[in-house]
């Protein structure tokens, strides 16, 4: 997925937000569960303190209780629940059997909850209270402390966090799936706009068509407006080129007539000069007209045209011309493929190159095609005079001809270069095995054929 994708960015933000939210929720739930469990433990310890206070025997030294605590864990060594009674006046201490031979170090003049390491190095949560008990000798002050192991609270908290974590993970996965579906549905109209734009680029439609959300109406209207302006400007430019061509036809025809009259009057030199000039002007007008209908391309275009079909159709047309009837045509075509170029431009490209071969061939024209990686190679060879190797780079330059023995302006190969420049292709010239010129084209495959080759 493209890192610049809006969908990827929104999914990344959703993922970060869900993770942060669920981690925060887990920490808050752990805190709330812990303080509630500790609150329950404090309530139990408070009840135990009250029971001990009611059971203290006044005047006993060391302090004693009238009856044992009902919970057997107080009587079991390291049983998990502990109590201790300290006479404030004498410092005498009595503790539960669960304390074994240890005692609780209670901070002086402290009341409330505190934590301490107790018997067998166990972490304890403790509650201490200052009490005064009336006896025969008067009131006596005691410090009563009750505690229990913190490990059960810790284990309960861990179990709760584990269960809550699994639940929150499932919840997070469900939220992410819902967010993904929401993004697909929410960004669906954007994909439809992209598809509509691609349809315009491929020439299927001239404007964005379809139902779009009201939030995108202004953007769609702007794009359609730009498309309409572009179409109007393109049509206007083509119309002006056509008007110019038609406007020049009459003066050019008149020049031909003048040349004929000059020749009839015996002025062969001026007649030939005038006729050559009018012919060159006609060729250049035709060249500009042919360029005006070429289609500008972008990297998002995805044209698809059959290379073999274009070659076979062109051969069929040229064989019917007076020059083509005298030639032997050989088409050695490989597996048919679709190249990334508009059909009309491909026909124009193949046509001008094969016309050039027809013009210079002595008796034979050979056309070959094959695939190389993600490109199609087309080679057009003739058995004509060919060109010197050091002149191959000059072929296709606008208006440049290496041989003046045949009529023409050399603009056909220039048109081929223009078409290839618009469509990402290349052209090369060399000497054919037949002795004449070999023109080698490299054209990019369409996206579908490119995937199949890969």
Q: How far is CA 90 from CA 59, 60, 143, 201, in A?
A: 11, 11, 12, 100
Q: What is the pTM of this model?
A: 0.50
Asked whether residue 314 falls in the same domain as residue 257, the answer is no
Asked whether residue 13 falls in the same domain as residue 143, the answer is yes
**Distance of alpha carbon 245 from the chain centroid:** 48
Rounded Cα gap, residues 20 and 16, in angstroms:
6
- Domain end residue (candidates: 246, 261, 292): 292
Closest CA to 405 of 390, 432, 384, 391: 384
- Domain end residue (candidates: 137, 156, 175): 156
Residue 143 has pLDDT above 50, yes or no: yes
pLDDT at position 106 is 86
Pairing of the two strands 328-332 and 138-149: unpaired
pLDDT at position 33 is 93
Closest CA to 340 of 349, 329, 332: 349
- Domain end residue (candidates: 292, 314, 338): 292
Rounded Cα gap, residues 450 and 454, in angstroms:
6
- Please tell me the least confidently modeled range out of 101-105, 136-140, 314-318, 349-353: 136-140
Asked whether residue 229 falls in the same domain as residue 365, the answer is no
pLDDT tens-place string over residues 379-403: 999 998 877 766 555 564 544 444 4
Asked whether residue 133 falls in the same domain as residue 266, the answer is no
The domain tally of the chain equals 3
Question: Which letter, b or e, does each residue of 100-132 get, where b requires 16 or more Cβ atoms within 10 Å of its Cβ?
Answer: eeebbebeeeeeeebebebbeebebbbbbbebe
Between 2 and 131, residue with greater pLDDT: 131
CB atoms within 10 A of CB 302: 12
pLDDT at position 397 is 53
Residue 340 has pLDDT above 80, yes or no: yes
What is the average per-residue pLDDT within 69-78?
Answer: 89
Residue 33 domain boundaries: 9-156
**Is the dihedral angle over the CA atoms 338, 341, 344, 348 positive or is it negative?**
negative
């Amino acid at each position: 997925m493209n890192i610049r994708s809006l969908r990827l960015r929104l999914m990344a933000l959703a993922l970060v937000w869900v993770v942060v939210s669920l981690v925060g929720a887990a920490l808050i739930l752990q805190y709330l569960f812990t303080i509630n469990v500790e609150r329950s433990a404090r309530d139990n310890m408070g009840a135990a303190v009250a029971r001990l206070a009611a059971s203290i025997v006044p005047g006993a030294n060391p302090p004693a209780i009238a009856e044992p605590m009902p919970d057997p864990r107080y009587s079991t060594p390291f049983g998990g629940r502990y109590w201790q009674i300290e006479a404030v006046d004498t410092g005498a201490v009595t503790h539960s059997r669960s304390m074994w031979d240890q005692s609780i170090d209670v901070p002086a003049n402290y009341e409330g909850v505190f934590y301490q390491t107790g018997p067998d190095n166990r972490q304890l949560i403790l509650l201490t209270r200052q009490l005064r008990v009336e006896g025969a000798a008067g009131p006596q002050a005691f410090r009563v402390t009750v505690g229990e192991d913190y490990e059960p609270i810790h284990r309960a908290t861990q179990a709760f966090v584990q269960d809550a974590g699994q639940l929150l993970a499932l919840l997070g996965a469900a939220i992410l799936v819902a967010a993904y579906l929401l993004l697909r549905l929410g960004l669906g109209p954007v994909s439809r706009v992209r598809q509509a734009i691609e349809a315009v680029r491929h020439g299927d439609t001239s404007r964005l068509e379809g139902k779009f959300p009201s939030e995108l109406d202004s953007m769609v209207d702007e794009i359609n407006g730009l498309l309409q302006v572009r179409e109007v400007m393109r049509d206007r430019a083509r119309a002006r080129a056509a008007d110019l061509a038609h406007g020049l036809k009459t003066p050019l025809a008149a020049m031909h007539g003048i040349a004929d009259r000059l020749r009839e009057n015996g002025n062969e030199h001026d007649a030939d000069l005038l006729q050559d000039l009018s012919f060159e002007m006609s060729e250049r007008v035709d060249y500009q007209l042919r360029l005006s209908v070429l289609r500008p391309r972008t990297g998002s275009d995805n044209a698809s045209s059959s290379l073999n079909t274009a070659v076979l159709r062109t051969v069929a047309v040229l064989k019917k011309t007076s020059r083509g009837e005298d030639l032997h045509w050989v088409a050695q075509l490989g597996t048919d493929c679709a190249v990334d170029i508009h059909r009309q431009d491909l026909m124009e490209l193949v046509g001008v190159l094969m016309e050039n071969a027809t013009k210079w061939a002595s008796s034979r024209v050979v056309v070959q095609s094959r695939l190389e990686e993600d490109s199609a190679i087309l080679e057009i060879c003739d058995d004509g005079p060919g060109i010197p190797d050091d002149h191959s780079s000059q072929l296709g330059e606008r208006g440049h001809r290496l041989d003046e023995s045949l009529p023409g302006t050399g603009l056909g190969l220039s048109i081929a270069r223009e078409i290839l420049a618009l469509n990402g292709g290349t052209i090369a010239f060399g000497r054919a095995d037949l002795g004449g010129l070999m023109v080698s084209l490299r054209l990019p495959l369409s996206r579908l054929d490119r995937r199949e080759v890969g």
